[in-house]
Amino acid sequence: MSEPDRSDLGFSFRATKRGAVFVHHHGRLATTLRGSAAADFLLEVDSADFDEQQQIMARVTGNYRRGNERLAKNHPRNR
């Protein structure tokens, strides 16, 4: 039995003929890109492997860890 792919963050995308890009996270629409943002995204994803594509889609949707969650928990504003 093979080990599950840990780099799969659950993102997928679909590009339309009109130039829009729909990015899904676990099957639900996360964001829609149009115009130059969609074109830039497609250029970046086209030259990336699967792991990098997942990271790019996470970055585009804003759905990724920033590394400061532990510090933010202790900030006076969040107590």
Burial 69-79 (b: 16+ CB within 10 A, else e): eeeeeeeeeee
pLDDT grade for 8, boundaries at 50, 70 and 90: confident
Q: What is the distance between the alpha carbons of residues 60 and 32, in angstroms, rounded to a whole number?
A: 10
pLDDT digits (tens, 9 = 90+) for 11-68: 999 999 999 999 999 999 999 999 999 999 999 999 999 999 998 998 899 866 655 5
What pTM value is reported for the model? 0.71
Whole-number pLDDT of residue 41: 96
Q: What confidence tier does 7 reach under pLDDT thresholds 50, 70, 90?
A: confident
Q: Is 12 exposed, middle or buried (0-12, 13-18, 19+ CB in 10 A)?
A: middle
| 70 pLDDT higher than 50 | yes
pLDDT of residue 1 exceeding 60: no
How far is residue 41's CA from residue 58's CA, in Å, rounded to a whole number?
Answer: 12
The Cα–Cα gap between 29 and 17 comes to 18
Spatial distance between the Cα atoms of 39 and 45, rounded to a whole number of angstroms: 10
